[in-house]
Amino acid sequence: MTFEHLFDDTQTAFAPKTDLQLSKARLLFQLFGVQPLVDFGAAATSLAMTLGLPISSLYKYTVYNHFCGGETFDECKKTIKLLDSFHVGTMLNYGVELKETDEDFETTIQHTLEAINFATEHHSVKSICVKLTGFGRFGLFEKIQANEVLTKDEESEYKKIKDRLDYICKAAHKNNVVIYIDAEESWIQDPLDDLADEMMGNYNKKLAIVYNTFQLYRNDRLDFLKKSFQKAKNNNYLLGAKIVRGAYMEKERERAAKLDYASPIHHSKVAVNHDYDAAIKFCLENLSDISVCIASQSEESNLFAVKLMNQLNIPFNHTGVIFSQLYGMGDNITFNLAKIGCNACKYLPYGPVKDVIPYLIRRAEENSSISGQMGRELGLIVKEIKRRKKRQLPILTNL
């Protein structure tokens, strides 16, 4: 079986989209290709949010609708059902982050619990994704990583974070729902990793319920993945590994330059790709002790994984291997993987528009280059639009 042209099938890729939705997607990705426009839009949006200006409606009917499932579960249900009809699962993510108050954190916990209950009733919802900056203050994580002495109040605050996470993981374990703990900025990542390890130790004895996320654009993460695997082996629990390239590259480099320390980010895309594919290989070769989520927009890495699974005689529907792409992107990967029997999912953020805007800004900034994958997305959309138009043309015959 050959897979070289697996992701070229646009008819399968865009089958869920109407002609109007395709046209809107084309316009959106064309705008993402104009770097000055993206930069201006991100800055203007941040300013508008600071000033409390009403911009939610503008976002809801443009970027939000393309990348998010809805503001509520009810709004997500239609999207989840549509994905399921193409054998594509859903990873739900309450896309709210960087909160500061206990009230905000408890709201996030409540929404996450509701998501777990929702997942138990909807088989196509495979997992829930959480950001720990939705469970506790960024500044506290930063202080812990810097090895600063915590006050008694801060120690109590950290215990609350751990209790919140344990409460969520316990509910997930009880209902057999997977929890993905997202990676964040490198200068708060250490305490997040420690919390993820602790939860895996508690709840991954028989199945991988809790997954940590490894950002392979960092030059130390491949080694960290292997150390995490050994730690899991030594402590008799399964490692849940969600492997991604990463979402904070420019922010990381800017901070490193500003504070004059060595950037944790690889110097080249080639190095990132090497480590990412090496992480795939490591996980697939150790499936008896690792469950892996290959979360990538890269056709090359997904193709590498499919070929390696085939070579290692790993069934495409192996329960320990999940493929995931962002909702609104990589449809040619997701739907074609599902077509050949892989466990394919979409990462589906939801939540109030105003609270999800930081996530949307990041999506726009990450994909604002018309080269590479961005250009590929646009090219595939244009190809499918042309295919549909050609199909609709009347057939002329000689009389």
User: pLDDT, tens digit, for every residue of 221-264?
Assistant: 999 999 999 999 999 999 999 999 987 787 899 999 999 999 99
Average pLDDT, the chain: 88
For residues 211 and 291, give the distance between their C-alpha atoms in angstroms, rounded to a whole number: 8
Give how far the C-alpha of residue 384 lies from the chain's centroid of Cα atoms, to the nearest Å: 25
For residues 59 and 66, give the distance between their C-alpha atoms in angstroms, rounded to a whole number: 10
Q: What counts of helices (H) and strands (E) characterise the chain?
A: 17, 8
Q: What is the mean pLDDT of residues 318-341?
A: 96
Question: Is 373 a residue whose pLDDT tops 70?
Answer: no
At the topology level, CATH places domain 72-350 in TIM Barrel (3.20.20)
> Which residues are within 8 A (CB) of 191 and not within 5 positions of it... i.e. 6 or more apart?
141, 144, 145
Query: DSSP of 103-137, one letter per residue?
Result: HHHHHHHHHHHHHHHHHHH-TTEEEEEE-GGGTS-
Percent of the chain residues past pLDDT 90, beyond the cut: 68
Long-range CB contacts (within 8 A, 24+) of 101-104: 102/160, 104/134
Helix (H) or strand (E) holding 130: strand 125-130
Question: Is 396 a residue whose pLDDT tops 60?
Answer: no
For residues 271 and 253, give the distance between their C-alpha atoms in angstroms, rounded to a whole number: 16
User: pLDDT, tens digit, for every residue of 26-85?
Assistant: 988 887 765 555 554 555 555 555 556 555 666 676 778 888 888 888 888 999 999 999
Percent of the chain residues past pLDDT 70, beyond the cut: 85
Q: What is the mean pLDDT of residues 331-358?
A: 90
Report CA-CA distances (Å) from 20 to 8, 55, 58, 315, 381.
Answer: 21, 24, 18, 37, 12
For residues 135 and 126, give the distance between their C-alpha atoms in angstroms, rounded to a whole number: 22
Question: Is 367 a residue whose pLDDT tops 60?
Answer: no
The reported pLDDT for the residue numbered 63 is: 78
For residues 84 and 315, give the distance between their C-alpha atoms in angstroms, rounded to a whole number: 21
Q: What is the mean pLDDT of residues 109-122?
A: 91
Going by the DSSP 8-state scheme, the letter that residue 6 receives in this structure is G
Going by the DSSP 8-state scheme, the letter that residue 285 receives in this structure is T
The reported pLDDT for the residue numbered 382 is: 94
The reported pLDDT for the residue numbered 352 is: 82
What confidence category does residue 119 fall into, taking pLDDT thresholds of 50, 70 and 90? very high
Indicate if the alpha-carbon torsion angle 43, 47, 50, 55 is positive or negative: negative
User: pLDDT, tens digit, for every residue of 310-319?
Assistant: 999 999 999 9
Which pTM does this prediction carry? 0.90
For residues 365 and 367, give the distance between their C-alpha atoms in angstroms, rounded to a whole number: 5
For residues 337 and 306, give the distance between their C-alpha atoms in angstroms, rounded to a whole number: 9
